[in-house]
A and B are shown apart, each in its own frame.
Chain A
Amino acid sequence: MADMNFFSFLRIQPFVLEAILLQGKRPDVSKLIGWEFKGHNIGLLPRLGRILKFKKGFVSFGDEVIGYNVLVEQNSPSEPWVALPDESSPKRHGFFKVYPAEFSPKHNLYPNALLLDYSKGGNPIWDPSRVLRDYLVQPFEDNDDLYLGKAYAEIFGKTIFVGFFVLERYNKSNFKI
C-alpha cells in the first residue's frame, strides 16, 4: 500500500501541512532521545535563506530533554545528510528545551505538539536561534520515525510564522551535554 514518507512532506501545500499538524499526536520523547533526525525545511523563508537541510538531535539532561541542530551540507534531498565541518566533529548549535506545548502559557497553539523552546536551550544571548519556537507532532500513530514541525520566531513579543519542517530518524548519537 502506498504511504506518505519524508519526501511526501516536501511536496505538500502549507494548508495541508497545517491539517496534518492539527491531527498529529504528541511525540513520545523517549523515542527521540539518543537519536539524530534528518530534517528539511519547507517554505519560502528557509528557501530564501538557503538553509533547507539540517539534522536535529535529542538528549536527556537530568530530568529534562534537550535538543540541538547540526549543520549539514546543503546538497540535494536525495543525497545523504553530511554533517559540517565533518562527520566526526559535527557543529552542534541552536539548542532547545523539549516539553509539551500545552504546558507553555504563551506557545500553546498546538496543544497536541511538543514545543522545542530555543529560549530555554542555554544558547548565548547573542544567538539569533533564541527567538525560535518549534511545534513538533507525529503525523501517524504507527510511525515513530517521521515527524512534522512548524517553526515560529518570537520577536518583540510577536510570534511570526517561519515555516514547516519534516524530520525522519537518521542515526544514533552518543552526544552528551
Chain B
Amino acid sequence: MEKKRKEKVEDLFSSSEKKSERRKKVKEKQEEAGKTEEENLKEKKAHKEQIAEPESDIKPEEKPPLVVITGACGFIGSWAVQIAKENGFKVRACDLPSAFVGKDDLVGSRARFPEIVKNLADEIVECDITSPETLKDVFKDATYILHIAAILKYDVSWDLLYKVNVLGTKNVFDEILRSEPSQLKRVVVWSTNGIYALPKENELPITENSLVAPPTKYALSKFLEERLAMMYNRKYGIPVTVIRPTAVYGPRETYMFLENLRTFKKMKFLAIPSNFTFSFPSVHAVDVCRAALYLVSKPEANGEDYIINDDSELTAIDVMRFAAEVFDKPFYFLPPVPVEIVRAGIIGISFISEKILKKRLIEFEFSWMFGYDMRYSNEKLKSTGFEFKYPKFQDGMRETIKWYEENGLL
C-alpha cells in the first residue's frame, strides 16, 4: 500500500516536472523566435480577438477538465483546441515536433497551425503516435481525449495509412491503458463517413447502421481504427465514442474545398448537367468539434458511433448554384449526362494522371465515389440534443470564403 502511494507521489512529481519541462521548451522556442513575453501576450490577445467565437452552449465543469488533443496542429485539431478553450477546458495539444515549428502554413494538405495552437493551448506536447516511446505520459491526468491525429489522403500507400491510422491508434490506446488515467471519462475517435458502402437508391439515407464497405484504403484504415478503439472499449472498459464527420469545411481547410472554389472562381460561367441531383454532404469544422465535446459528457454516447453531418441536404446542383451566386457568375444547366459515364471518365483520367503521368488531378480512389447519392442521416446525433451552429452549408461556407479571401487564398 505504502509502496503504491509512494509510486503515485513520484508519478505526480515526475508528471509536474515534465509539464514544467514542456512549458520551458515552448518558452525557449518563443525566445528563439525573438519574442518577449509581452509581445507574445499581445499577439495572443490579438489572435484570440481575431478568431473569437460567440459563446457556445457547452457548459464546462467547475474545475476545468483536461482535454488531450492529438493531431492538434492540423485543420480540425486546431479547431478542437480553439473550441475546447472557448468552452473552459484545459488543453494539452499534441502533435509531431515538426508540426509545432514555424508559422501557420496554409498550403494544401501540409496545412499546419502551430501559432494558433501555441497561443491557445495550456500545454504543448511533441509526440508521434507511431513511436510509442514518445507517448509516455501524454494522456496522464486526461479527463477527455480527442484522437484526431491521422493521415487524411487518398493517394498514399496502404503501409503508411496502416502505420499511422491503425497502429498509431493502437499505440494511443496502449498508452492510455498503461497510464491508467483514473479520471478519464471519454476518448473520442475521429473516423469518417466514408466507411459505408457506396449507396444504392434503396439504401438512403445512410445511417450509423448502414452496410460498412469502405470504398477507399483511407476509409478502410479509419474503419480499422474505430474497430480497434471499440475493442479497447469492450475488452478494457475504456470509454470510447466514435464520430464520423462527412466532408468537413471551414476556415483553415485548404485540401479539398479551396481547390474547387479556386476553379469555380476562375471560370467565366458555371454549368452542371441537369440530372446531377446527387447529394453533397457537409459539416463545419466548428460543429464537428462542438459535437465531439458535447458527446463526451453524454453517458449514453459511450461505446456509440455518430455520423456528424449538417442539415443542408444539398445536391451537386445546389452547390454549383451557390458558387455561381457567391462569385457572381452566370449559371446554366447542361443537358443530362449519365452519371456512370462521367464517373468512368473521371476514374480513367485520374488513373492516367496518378498512376501513369504521376501528377495529381483527382485522386484515383476518390474518383470512384463520384456521383453517388451520399445522403446521411444526423438523427442519432440530434437525438442526443445536439444543435448545429452551422446547420446550413451556405452560411458556414460564406464565412469560410471570407476567410480564404482575407488570407489571400482565394
Contact = CB atoms under 8 A, between A and B. Distances in A.
Interface stretch (B56-64, B80-88, B222-230, B283-291): B222-230
B211 A11 contact: yes
Interface residues of A, number: 20
Contacts of B227: 3, 140
A19 interface: yes
B217 A15 contact: yes
A89 interface: no
Interface in B199-228: 208-217, 219-221, 223-224, 226-227
A25 to B, nearest CB: 13
A48 interface: no
A125 B116 CA distance: 71
A173 B226 CA distance: 36
A104 interface: no
A142 B231 contact: yes
Given A20-B220, A23-B224, A2 B195 contact: yes
B307 to A, nearest CB: 10
A111 B231 CA distance: 26
Interface in A1-48: 1-5, 7-9, 11-13, 15-16, 18-20, 22-23
A2 B166 CA distance: 17
A16 B195 contact: no
A2 B220 contact: no
B368 interface: yes
A113 to B, nearest CB: 16
Contacts of A23: 158, 162, 166, 224
B234 to A, nearest CB: 9
Nearest to A18: B158
Q: Say which size band chain B's interface belongs to.
A: 20 to 34
A22 B230 CA distance: 22
A15 B214 CA distance: 11
B176 interface: no
A4 B212 CA distance: 5
Nearest to B161: A19
A19 B217 contact: yes
Interface in B146-175: 158, 161-162, 166
A7 B368 CA distance: 19
B365 interface: yes
Given A1-B242, A19-B158, A11 B365 contact: no
Nearest to B244: A2
Contacts of A15: 217, 365
Contact of A11 (B197, B224, B230, B242): B197
B211 A7 contact: yes
Contacts of A9: 213
B303 interface: yes
A142 B226 CA distance: 14
6 contacts: A2-B196, A11-B213, A13-B365, A15-B365, A22-B158, A22-B162
Given A1-B305, A13-B215, A23-B162, 7 more contacts: A1-B304, A2-B196, A2-B305, A16-B219, A16-B220, A19-B158, A19-B162
Interface of A: 1-5, 7-9, 11-13, 15-16, 18-20, 22-23, 140, 142
